Structure 1
Amino acid sequence: METYDALLAAITPTSGATRTILDPATGTAVGEAPVHTVQDLERAVAAAEAAQPAWAALGHDARSAALLRAADAVERSAEELARLLSREQGKPLNGPNARFEVGACAAWLRVAATTVLEPETVVDDGETRAELHYRPIGVVGAIGPWNWPMMITVWQIAPALRMGNAVVVKPSEYTPLSVLALAKVLNEELPEGLLTVVSGGRDVGARLAEHPAVGKVMFTGSTATGKAIIRSSADTVKRLTLELGGNDAGIVLPDADPKAIAEGLFWGAFINTGQTCAALKRLYVHSDIYEAVCEELTTVAAAMPMGNGLDENNVLGPLQNRQQFDIVARLVEAARDSGAKILLGGNPATDQPGHFYPATLVADIDNANPLVAEEQFGPALPIIRYSTVDEAVAMANALDVGLGASVWSSDPVAAREVAARIQSGTVWINKHGAVDPRVPFGGAKQSGYGLEFGVEGLKALGVPQVING
């Protein structure tokens, strides 16, 4: 374990171009990030190619042991990593935020290391014996987002490494320090050249997506960027796992208990101050309990403190960047102008530093309103009234995305029946966004394709090979 200052110093460039990273809560400097180039990427890919065969040759057991040691290293530096994450991304230390994210990194490493993936005997009838194995891909490119920079990076690299691949990571330009620091800690337990972070701009990401030596790209981010990666990867027929934009719907059935579900609804929508791909972003509530749900949800939201993430009392923080702040503000104002009712929030302070937008609940809003139809990716939740379950399901399925969804009910059987009708990769019941490293996760429609986590996630980082004979 090292101090926060030592960790930051270890990732601070001593030469080359740099960019100052600002704290979204205060506007003050967090540190200097390297501005890597395409040439730096080429060197990283070459190093990965050189390191990968020996890593693959170690076998699953030795690679798993290294990942478990890497998880131990994350835990030794957990507080320092969480503090850096809070300062760079903005999320508070407490609640389901910075400390939670660093803990999740260790948890995902451990599950990736210990999940069993045995060869599968497909046919064995006395005449034919066919076995399905999974071999390393080679070099994997990992392109991550700014909202959960450490955790999603681990989602990408842990199964890739476990399956015998080398990884080159391209972090978001908004949150490179967190990923650089995480990789520094992980590399204490990994061979040199196996895991490299290239902190560059869009040109670096574009080259990674098209690089002939990269056999697979894992990407979490917008649907538009995902489509660009698909195009860039076509000439080399890369394997892809894409976790793209979502606009998750939640349906509250008329038998739900408004008070009992209010806190779950709140965190489903406002985890990481709403900056989560699989957060609850549009809530459909039956007219019989609409007013009660609005009242209970407002009570919970009003009690949640927002402020600087390093303050131990806060559980909501700023939006990570001004661009996202402006998107949320525009959508809320459009809702206000349309006649929707602002139950809470909608009035960001203009006399303080930081990108703070208050937790905002919007009722009596039309389903076609931009706040509902567009992914706001921030702390603003539209609450839409419905009359029949068929109507709610139709509205939930109307968009071209389908990452996650949820159904809220006192009747598990009824909830499952509705869940089966929703077009999304995951449907939660009486919770939202609760990902688990053992449970496959992926999107439907334009929310992407490919599965992460668990056995299916490991398979996605290997090349299937059938041995027949």
Structure 2
Amino acid sequence: METQTDILTAIAPAGGETRTILDPATGEAVGQAPVHTVADLDRAVAAAAAAQPAWAALGHEARSAALLKAADAVERHAEELARLLSREQGKPLNGPNARFEVGACAAWLRATAATALEAETVVDDGETHAQIHYRPIGVVGAIGPWNWPMMITVWQIAPALRMGNTVVVKPSEYTPLSVLALARVINAELPTDVLHVISGGRDVGARLAEHPAVGKVMFTGSTATGKAIIRSSADTIKRLTLELGGNDAGIVLPDADPKAIAEDLFWGAFINTGQTCAALKRLYVHTDIYDDLCQALTDVAAAMPMGVGLDEANVLGPLQNKAQFDIVSALVQAAKDSGARVLLGGNPDPDQPGYFYPTTLVADIDNDNPLVAQEQFGPALPIIRYDTIDDAVSMANALDVGLGASVWSADLDAAREVAARIQSGTVWINKHGAVDPRIPFGGAKQSGYGLEFGVEGLKALGVPQVING
């Protein structure tokens, strides 16, 4: 079995410009990433386009079999992939972090292979027979983020490949090594040129979004970048799936038990050290249980160890890059300046190496405070008091995003009634961010459009064709 060193050697650039990737926890060099060019991208797209007809011709059964073999390969290399991911992204090996992410890659490959998509008969009345079929698009461009680089890449490529498309991936400039290594493992089970990874800068991403031979772009990242992709894709009328910013709200109803839900609330907010689009980022708590919940959540958060990801004891890591560290720092400072009450954290150590921001809980904060109104994408959670359910729903819906949300209550019927009033692509009950490969996932408002996962996710990677007759 290859070691992590073997994988880094295998993906090391053979020539051309390179860039040193640093560990955000220690500042140490992880490896050298290629800096691919627009010309490299054009060659990859041409090769993928040439390989696509033969890949499509294999049929669903053969393509699903290849995805299952790819899942086996990911599991064989799971530990070295997890250790590379931990060093490059910063997330710890343990907890819902690096090993969890690699395991999710295998799980999503298997679930995608197992999901049936049959032709749908829409009319069959003796005179008219009409069916909807889904045909391959061609070449799919996948542009991924730095927070879950391996897992979200699989979310993009697994359904694209299953549906008979070939794929060109552009990973984040912050985490290219993880995606290059994952693709190398998966490509061992795929025909040549079916999957390419191009590790370049913004010019490469822009070219992928506008490339005339790319039929669809899938993107997970910021709303601002999503808008740029929409503009770039317009001239060629590309299909798009966009999973954009979240700033997810959670509403705790007055009958909830603070101690019983505190740990689930914590992980809903602080999974991947808060660097998750669908993490809980603003928490609305009824005044009757506000103080008790603040205390219960503080007790849980204070016990969660943060540090270098390769240390098996840690479950929280650094922010992945300085830009994100600065955003979190500024937002927490704005909350402190406003007079909000810091329950925990808020005091990063300037002498500590790496981009570590301490686990931070902020209470008695106004709903229009920047820490609430802007997506922090890090380990800082504002807790807002409310008096009536109408107030909570109004505050939750006030922003122009709606990726996920959650309602917490001992009364499921009451929770579902509140959930139906929230403007969000997904609303979880007594949990937050629990994605499932069988359940469609997508955003509302400026959190994007298009669905991923399950049958709807497969349909989104095909061109619907109606055969009428």
What letter matches 2:154 in structure 1? V
CA separation in 2, counterparts of 1:397 and 1:262?
23
Deviations 1:78-106 (A, max 9, x none): 00000000000000000000000000000
Which residue number corresponds to residue 341 of structure 1?
341
Which residue number corresponds to residue 108 of structure 1?
108
> Map of 1:80-159 to 2, 5 A cutoff?
80-159=80-159
Which residue number corresponds to residue 365 of structure 2?
365
CA separation in 1, counterparts of 2:94 and 2:310?
9
CA separation in 2, counterparts of 1:187 and 1:22?
26
CA separation in 2, counterparts of 1:45 and 1:338?
51
Deviations 1:340-369 (A, max 9, x none): 000000011111210000000000000000
CA separation in 2, counterparts of 1:434 and 1:84?
25
Which residue number corresponds to residue 319 of structure 2?
319
SS in structure 2 at match of 1:300: helix
CA separation in 2, counterparts of 1:304 and 1:92?
12
> Map of 1:156-167 to 2, 5 A cutoff?
156-167=156-167
Deviation at residue 112 of structure 1 after TM alignment:
0.6
What letter matches 1:263 in structure 2? E
Which residue number corresponds to residue 14 of structure 1?
14
CA separation in 1, counterparts of 2:372 and 2:111?
36
What letter matches 1:387 in structure 2? D
What letter matches 2:54 in structure 1? A
What letter matches 1:9 in structure 2? T
CA separation in 2, counterparts of 1:330 and 1:233?
34
CA separation in 2, counterparts of 1:47 and 1:309?
38
CA separation in 2, counterparts of 1:114 and 1:279?
28
What letter matches 2:268 in structure 1? G
Deviations 1:288-340 (A, max 9, x none): 00000000000000000000000000000000000000000000000000000
SS in structure 2 at match of 1:328: helix
CA separation in 1, counterparts of 2:311 and 2:228?
39
SS in structure 2 at match of 1:256: coil
CA separation in 1, counterparts of 2:423 and 2:150?
29
TM-score by length of structure 2 reads 1.00
Which residue number corresponds to residue 225 of structure 2?
225
CA separation in 2, counterparts of 1:3 and 1:22?
19
Which residue number corresponds to residue 251 of structure 2?
251
What letter matches 1:18 in structure 2? T
Which residue number corresponds to residue 332 of structure 2?
332
Which residue number corresponds to residue 213 of structure 2?
213
What letter matches 2:266 in structure 1? F
CA separation in 2, counterparts of 1:238 and 1:42?
17
Which residue number corresponds to residue 423 of structure 1?
423
Which residue number corresponds to residue 4 of structure 1?
4
Deviations 1:163-222 (A, max 9, x none): 000000000000000000000000000011110000000000000000000000000000
| % identity of equivalent residues | 86
SS in structure 2 at match of 1:65: helix
Deviations 1:368-399 (A, max 9, x none): 00000000000000000000000000000000
Runs of 4+ in 1 over 3 A off after TM superposition: none
CA separation in 2, counterparts of 1:383 and 1:60?
48
Which residue number corresponds to residue 391 of structure 2?
391
What letter matches 1:392 in structure 2? A
* Gaps in structure 1 of 5+ consecutive residues: none
Deviation at residue 14 of structure 1 after TM alignment:
2.1
Deviation at residue 140 of structure 1 after TM alignment:
0.1
SS in structure 2 at match of 1:246: coil
Say whether residues 1:180 and 2:180 are aligned partners.
yes
What letter matches 2:348 in structure 1? P
Which residue number corresponds to residue 298 of structure 1?
298
SS in structure 1 at match of 2:190: coil
CA separation in 2, counterparts of 1:196 and 1:65?
20
SS in structure 1 at match of 2:343: strand
Which residue number corresponds to residue 196 of structure 1?
196
Tell me the C-alpha RMSD between the 2 structures.
0.4
What letter matches 1:134 in structure 2? Y
CA separation in 2, counterparts of 1:434 and 1:139?
30
What letter matches 1:323 in structure 2? A
What letter matches 2:309 in structure 1? G
SS in structure 2 at match of 1:14: coil
CA separation in 2, counterparts of 1:228 and 1:13?
30
Say whether residues 1:413 and 2:405 are aligned partners.
no
Which residue number corresponds to residue 53 of structure 1?
53
CA separation in 2, counterparts of 1:50 and 1:18?
28
Aligned residues: 469
SS in structure 2 at match of 1:242: strand
Which residue number corresponds to residue 351 of structure 2?
351
Deviations 1:208-256 (A, max 9, x none): 0000000000000000000000000000000000000011000000000
* Gaps in structure 2 of 5+ consecutive residues: none
Which residue number corresponds to residue 239 of structure 2?
239
CA separation in 2, counterparts of 1:4 and 1:215?
35
Say whether residues 1:261 and 2:270 are aligned partners.
no
